[in-house]
Structure 1
Amino acid sequence: MLHRFRLRILLQSLTLFLLGPPCEGSSLGLTVHVVPLESDGGKTVRAHFSAIAPSPCPALTGLCAVGEDCLVHPTSLPFNGTKPTPGWCVRQWQKTVPSNYKASISLGSNREIYVSMKAGPTVRANSGRLNQPAYVALPPPLRARVNCPHHFYLSVKDLDGDRVRCRFAQPDQGECVSCTQHSFIELDEEKCMLTFTGNAPAGQYFIYLMAEDLIPEPKTSQATDNTPLSSVPVHLSLTVEESTSSCIAEPVATGETPIKDSTLFVLPYQETKFSISFMSQLESVSEVVVVGPPELYRTDFKSVGPLSTMTMAWVRSENKLARLLPICFAANTMSLQSEARCVWLYQREMGALPAGTELKCEKTEMTLVLPVASLTNINVSELQLNSPTCPVAYNSTHLTAHIFLNGCGTKTVHSGSELVYTNTLRSVRPFTMVSRQPTLILPLACRFPETQVKGPQYKIGMPTEKETFGKFRFWIEFHFPGEGPLGKFTRIPKFRSLHILPERVRREVESPSGIIITSKSTSNISTNSTSSSGAIGSKIEQLDLHVMSNCSINRAELLVSNCIESETEDFAETNPILEQGCATSNSTLEIVTTLSNSKVYRLDLSNLEAKGSMMYIQCTVNLCITTMPSETCPDLCTRSISHRALINSVFTKTYTIRSGPVSLVVTTPAPSTTTPVNTATTTTKSVATTASSSITSVTVAQNSTTSHAPEQTSSMAAGVILTTISIFLQNIFLY
């Protein structure tokens, strides 16, 4: 009996261990792209590893031993992210290993990754070539929420055109170690689609898969034995988080974002560039996380209200990377994640240059000489450079082209410390012509070391925030209606009703006392300024929240994305007032003014969540200038907002301004004057940097004496209730 009891306790402990949080040896994701080597008939392969490690990021030492055919890919633009906490980074390397390979790989001092793969060698009967194992794109660490079912599609490709199937790794086959198959994770093997049922407690879980390629077969009524040609490992992580928001509130890709699983073909020294954008109605996007090939550039990350954009670019230089290169990206907010979307870069194979071909690189032009005899079955009259304005001359023996570096459609790209001028000679036919004749695509490139390149073409000086917007600051003030520096606007106010986010509308409708204010309805907030005062100890009914800036640049506009209130100074518990520029209830209306550098909001304190005698306010703000005088900065709270509004505008960093205590009850008479606060001098201290998403966390502390909010008792006592501000620098938006 005692033996059975001990055995039961042991089994329960083992179950809790397997279902509990992973040990420090776990990674947050892993894929291996396998390229069989022709030199030994595929007995060895070049394995391209991509692994995601939790922060702090492990060192790259130890991955390659002396004498091994091994290469670690350091990058000046590392892939990392902050969600899930404590953050993560990507490590990439390539190594020549046996085609059938099992090993425990040390990633840093406390990370052990077990890898098992079967990659042949297999010679394909239909082509006589070595089989190419399947490619699986590695997404950023996956996030989901308790009780919110979610599908996760894996992006897969196969160079041989084989069917790709995904299955759970089998520990009895030596494919994984301590790999529990969770009951709340389902797998569609044919679609390589994972389904999270939602029935899991908050925590971090690991999923171990094998991706297999199978020769496509026609659909028949009789099943046949189709043995996989190869199996490669795929490790994923899923972080399940608590959340009170809707299960369909995740950010959504919009605009010109490439469709998922799309393929972009890349020639040598060609720059591939595309932009992605997301719409997030509930929470602002804090980062766009990316996993891609080394030296993938990510620039111009902007997140203003519900919109966020980022541009990515990659230059194909000489490299030993795999032919197929996936780029996977997702948008993270504080508690939400968009669908992970992947696109593929296909490095086109290029044949050897014809004998006798010459390309001379000079200071102002490149000269191409190409033997016509080498262009078998090519119509020389159809050959054209990037720009048809530059002629291509030819005779019976040679083709000659003089290609200007600053014309002829020549493009300039950066490759490491070199500046590369590129053009392409290709066959160009009328759209109406259909021909079976071969075509020519001949990339041309001239490379110049950085030290030889002069002038603005190599480095372009971008204006700083101070040069664009001048010296400015933000602050918050509270006044009774009709009082303060903007009293002429608030005394007899003209209200601009703010939309309420759809999620908030649903909650208000469900509330028996909920009153929804739309652009066509009238406000139930009184405009009588005397209603804000009363007997000592009584509640103040209305206050005007002034969000202000002293920026005096023409066309500069103040944008207020979010405001929250809290009963405590540490903002441990908060309630929203504005989200994505929209009101969160019928207790907030915007007062129209003629000033572009200030915003005023009428707060109905009787309907706010704050129930104590004090509150604190925190808002996130930006300054914006459009690139064209005829355009306007984005209206954050509108259904017609477009990501083009971000692209066509210049923004400051996002600042978070925080108030001091604001009294919500009538106490004692206020002083007749208020003490001015010097906020002209600031000191800046950098505390953290996240390079992958261009987010810099900096604290800007005001060099001033802290003041307290005056206690107001009468509408006759006009004054500033708060003058103390704290500014936190969050996101860099300036071009």
Structure 2
Amino acid sequence: MLRRSTLSVLLLGLTLFLFGPACEASSLGLTVHVVPLDSDGGQTVRAHFSAIAPSPCPDLSGLCAVGEDCLVHPTSIPFNGTKPSPGWCVRQWQKTIPSDYNASISLGSNTELYVAVKAGPKVRANSGKLNNPAFVALPPPLRARVNCPHHFHLSVKDLDGDKVQCRFARPDQGECLNCTQHSFIELDEEKCMLTFTGNAPAGQYFIYLMAEDLIPVPKTRLNTDNPPLSSVPVHLSLTVEESASSCTAEPVATGETPKEDSTLFVLPYQQVKFDVSFMSQLESVSELAVVGPPELYRIGFKSVGPLSTMTMAWVRSENKLARLLPICFAANTNSLQSEPRCVWLYQREMRTLPAGTELKCEKTEMTLVLPVASLSNINLDELQLNSPTCPVTYNNTHLTARISLTGCGTKTVHSGSELVYTNTLQSVRPYTMVSRQPSLVLPLACRIPGSQVKGPQYKINMPTETETFGEVSFWIEFHFPGEGPLGRFTRIPRLRSVYMPPERVRREVESPSERNSTFTSSTNNTSASGDVGSRIQQLDLHVMSNCSVDRAELMVSNCIESETEDFAETSSILQQGCAASNNTLEVITTQSTAKIYRLDLSTQETKGSTMYVQCTVNLCISTMPSQKCPDLCTRSVNHRMLVNSVFTKTYTIRSGPVSLVVTTAAPQTTVNTDTTTTATSTVTSSTASVANESAAQSTTTSHAPQQASSMAAGVILTTISIFLQNIFLY
């Protein structure tokens, strides 16, 4: 009886365990970079962990026990993202562990990791040094779409030059727990390439891999006796989402974005900086998701229409990080993700400076004294600083250089709270010279504590949007062709096509005469001045701003229309700055803070008598007087214009109801109707009577033609993101 009761309790507990709600979530990604320690012959290793945890971000207080060689990497610039929902963040730490290691690690109370490392000490025959396991870059959480096959390339490096391959983790070898292989995930082990076949329902899936390094052998030789030197874990997540868009519509890296797997070499206290840019024709990029080393600066994110860009920078200060540091990034839109791309930072190893070397840091300069005896086989005449205008002198015993902190090519970077002045003494040879003689690269740095730093060079306050553009407002108006405050541009218009067909081939701007002959002739049709109740055939959509700053330009990224005020069902008028169909043309004006689009309503999908319109807008000022802000719908888009421009926030503005039928007989002369003005506490815009109703929230007087009541109120709804100019690092 007791045995039966005990068995019942065990079965009940097992049932609750199997079918009860999970209290711990899997990580969304994990890599471990392993560095063998020479102090004990590689019996222990320093493991550098990078893990992606779902939001809310977990606490790391329990990772390091008292007395352990363990370090958690706090960062003032955390890595996080919003896609996939509910978001994620990166946690990084390092710990000395046995070379063969298996453990479960808890990140906070919600995320559990199982880690298996096989890096038993192996001395390489070719160098006599301990073998270095492979490095695998950790991408942001991966996203794909149902029925859309996709390849995911894993970026791998090996300090010893070994061949790196990837395989699925094996539970029978203690490499993972509950790690089911998915039939819709394929793996090319030789290339470390994952393939999602597309044959999976929407959901979140976890992939457990092991990366191994092998001694390279000729391809003609069978690899039957070439066991891996080590194995390190790689955990990935794949979120599969429903989508109705094309399988080839993902954002694409463009411009000066570094190439995949490229390596950037970094000297002590050197700053490396690069821009990443993406083109997304279908949806605007909402975020650039990044996973990288601690204190990686990510500044100046801008997303306007199809264009997006961001600058990344990293300063090598004194650190205990691995020599190889990956930076992986991907562009996320609401339903799409670009191909993840990774670049690598390589921290160059530096030799110990010879005895007698001195570097004195003074208020205005640093002075270097270097024994000549330590520079054997170095041609001293080839040595120069960042700027050749500052001399380097030497005699039989010492080399001396006096280096100005504000000249000689000296650069200023931030390292934590310190301000660091850097320069480099190096051998410089003519490009045409090929020499087998050794060369010298000697980085120099003077570190100034933040408490001692004074002056504007340490901290630069960026102007606010109001300081740059003034108090801005935006609004939407509708007018018949030839009418309204900009009627001089629409009466005999110069029109250009801004339609981009599905094959993404952008059209050239057509000549005004050609367009006028085919479209302008209809501006005086009967619907513009016809019988009450007749359907309007053409309307001009005006998107306007009150900004009066010179060289400020209005940019309209997207416009949608709906038959209902809640925009439950919509159709596009503009997408990423381009017309969604060839029934919309742009009216060319000389007013930079207004955009006019001529709508052919005879082919409009809206079947009712009323429509509502919503647009997303920015103001832009080019920082170069010789340039203009980027044109979002041209054959070639220059991302450099995006980098060299200042933007407001992105605003969403919405019209009131717009009548699609003539509601009032046309008068003999134009009659202007003034509406009342009402102050509001938020950014507001002009309004007018629409469909015989008064639209509130107005700060200016507006005018609309009575015969159609076709001008609508614009109300700023939301702020999407801030695009003020780049924040300087120093």
When normalised by structure 2's length, the TM-score is 0.90
2:719 corresponds to: 729
Aligned mates of 1:672, 1:359 — CA distance in 2: 77
**1:254: Cα distance to partner?**
1.2
Q: Confirm whether residue 44 of structure 1 aligns to residue 40 of structure 2.
A: no
1:74 corresponds to: 74
1:688 corresponds to: none
**Structural mapping, 1:478-517, within 5 Å:** 478-503=478-503
Q: 1:624 to 1:130 in 2, by over 3 A?
A: same
**1:450: Cα distance to partner?**
1.7
2:728 corresponds to: none
1:228 corresponds to: 228
Aligned residues: 692
1:379 corresponds to: 379
2:152 corresponds to: 152
Q: Which amino acid aligns with 2:692?
A: P
**1:412: Cα distance to partner?**
0.5
Q: 1:607 to 1:254 in 2, by over 3 A?
A: same
Unaligned 5+ runs, structure 1 = 1-9, 507-515, 684-699
Q: Confirm whether residue 653 of structure 1 aligns to residue 649 of structure 2.
A: yes
SS of 1:172's partner is: helix
* Per-residue deviation, residues 550-577 of structure 1 (Å, max 9, x unmatched): 1111211111111011223232322111
**Structural mapping, 1:549-628, within 5 Å:** 549-628=545-624
**1:39: Cα distance to partner?**
1.1
1:27 corresponds to: 27
User: Residue 475 of structure 1 contacts residue 548 of structure 1 at CA under 8 Å; is this kept in 2?
Assistant: yes
1:243 corresponds to: 243
Aligned mates of 2:540, 2:162 — CA distance in 1: 65
Q: Which amino acid aligns with 2:331?
A: A
* Per-residue deviation, residues 33-83 of structure 1 (Å, max 9, x unmatched): 011111111111111111111112112221222222111111111111111
Q: Confirm whether residue 710 of structure 1 aligns to residue 692 of structure 2.
A: yes
Unaligned 5+ runs, structure 2 = 1-10, 695-703, 726-730
Aligned mates of 1:345, 1:682 — CA distance in 2: 49
2:636 corresponds to: 640
2:452 corresponds to: 452
Aligned mates of 2:35, 2:331 — CA distance in 1: 31
Aligned mates of 1:704, 1:391 — CA distance in 2: 64
**1:414: Cα distance to partner?**
0.5
Q: 1:593 to 1:34 in 2, by over 3 A?
A: same
1:694 corresponds to: none
1:513 corresponds to: none
2:107 corresponds to: 107
**1:454: Cα distance to partner?**
1.9
**1:250: Cα distance to partner?**
1.4
Q: Confirm whether residue 630 of structure 1 aligns to residue 626 of structure 2.
A: yes
2:4 corresponds to: none
**1:537: Cα distance to partner?**
4.7
**Structural mapping, 1:198-209, within 5 Å:** 198-209=198-209
Q: Which amino acid aligns with 1:733?
A: F
Q: Confirm whether residue 87 of structure 1 aligns to residue 87 of structure 2.
A: yes
User: Residue 152 of structure 2 contacts residue 339 of structure 2 at CA under 8 Å; is this kept in 1?
Assistant: yes
Aligned mates of 1:310, 1:337 — CA distance in 2: 16
2:5 corresponds to: none
SS of 2:26's partner is: coil
**Structural mapping, 1:169-184, within 5 Å:** 169-184=169-184
Aligned mates of 1:119, 1:450 — CA distance in 2: 41
Q: 1:251 to 1:596 in 2, by over 3 A?
A: same
**1:660: Cα distance to partner?**
2.1
Q: Which amino acid aligns with 1:149?
A: P
Aligned mates of 1:119, 1:347 — CA distance in 2: 22
**Structural mapping, 1:183-332, within 5 Å:** 183-332=183-332
Aligned mates of 1:241, 1:706 — CA distance in 2: 42
**1:530: Cα distance to partner?**
4.0
Aligned mates of 2:686, 2:594 — CA distance in 1: 22
Q: Which amino acid aligns with 1:189?
A: E
Bigger mean CA deviation after superposition, 283-292 or 341-350: 283-292
Q: 1:456 to 1:300 in 2, by over 3 A?
A: same
Aligned mates of 2:653, 2:399 — CA distance in 1: 66
User: Residue 672 of structure 2 contacts residue 706 of structure 2 at CA under 8 Å; is this kept in 1?
Assistant: no
Q: Which amino acid aligns with 1:730?
A: I
Bigger mean CA deviation after superposition, 103-112 or 380-389: 380-389
Q: Which amino acid aligns with 1:372?
A: V
**1:666: Cα distance to partner?**
4.2
* Per-residue deviation, residues 593-645 of structure 1 (Å, max 9, x unmatched): 22111111121223222223332211111111222333222111111221122
Q: Which amino acid aligns with 1:141?
A: P
User: Residue 370 of structure 2 contacts residue 400 of structure 2 at CA under 8 Å; is this kept in 1?
Assistant: yes
Q: 1:545 to 1:121 in 2, by over 3 A?
A: same
**1:323: Cα distance to partner?**
0.6
User: Residue 144 of structure 1 contacts residue 239 of structure 1 at CA under 8 Å; is this kept in 2?
Assistant: yes
Aligned mates of 1:444, 1:603 — CA distance in 2: 63
2:7 corresponds to: none
User: Residue 659 of structure 1 contacts residue 724 of structure 1 at CA under 8 Å; is this kept in 2?
Assistant: yes
**1:534: Cα distance to partner?**
5.1
* Per-residue deviation, residues 73-102 of structure 1 (Å, max 9, x unmatched): 111111111111111111111111111111
Q: Which amino acid aligns with 1:470?
A: G
Aligned mates of 2:705, 2:548 — CA distance in 1: 31
2:701 corresponds to: none
Aligned mates of 1:643, 1:370 — CA distance in 2: 45
Q: 1:453 to 1:497 in 2, by over 3 A?
A: same
Q: Which amino acid aligns with 2:132?
A: Q
2:402 corresponds to: 402
User: Residue 690 of structure 2 contacts residue 709 of structure 2 at CA under 8 Å; is this kept in 1?
Assistant: no
Bigger mean CA deviation after superposition, 450-459 or 263-272: 450-459
Aligned mates of 2:529, 2:394 — CA distance in 1: 90
Q: Which amino acid aligns with 2:620?
A: C
Q: 1:357 to 1:479 in 2, by over 3 A?
A: same
Q: 1:432 to 1:543 in 2, by over 3 A?
A: closer
User: Residue 366 of structure 1 contacts residue 405 of structure 1 at CA under 8 Å; is this kept in 2?
Assistant: yes
* Structure 1 stretches of at least 4 aligned residues deviating more than 4 Å after TM superposition: 21-24, 503-506, 516-525, 533-538, 666-672, 702-709
Q: Which amino acid aligns with 1:480?
A: F
**1:431: Cα distance to partner?**
2.4
SS of 1:130's partner is: coil
**Structural mapping, 1:127-146, within 5 Å:** 127-146=127-146
* Per-residue deviation, residues 699-720 of structure 1 (Å, max 9, x unmatched): x6x49999765369x9653756
User: Residue 252 of structure 1 contacts residue 279 of structure 1 at CA under 8 Å; is this kept in 2?
Assistant: yes
**1:590: Cα distance to partner?**
1.4
SS of 1:606's partner is: helix
**1:127: Cα distance to partner?**
1.5
SS of 2:523's partner is: coil
**1:430: Cα distance to partner?**
2.4
User: Residue 481 of structure 1 contacts residue 529 of structure 1 at CA under 8 Å; is this kept in 2?
Assistant: no
User: Residue 147 of structure 1 contacts residue 198 of structure 1 at CA under 8 Å; is this kept in 2?
Assistant: yes
Query: Percent identity between the aligned chains?
Result: 78
Aligned mates of 1:214, 1:641 — CA distance in 2: 44
When normalised by structure 1's length, the TM-score is 0.89
1:393 corresponds to: 393
1:356 corresponds to: 356
Aligned mates of 2:591, 2:583 — CA distance in 1: 23
Q: Confirm whether residue 664 of structure 1 aligns to residue 698 of structure 2.
A: no
Q: Which amino acid aligns with 1:493?
A: P
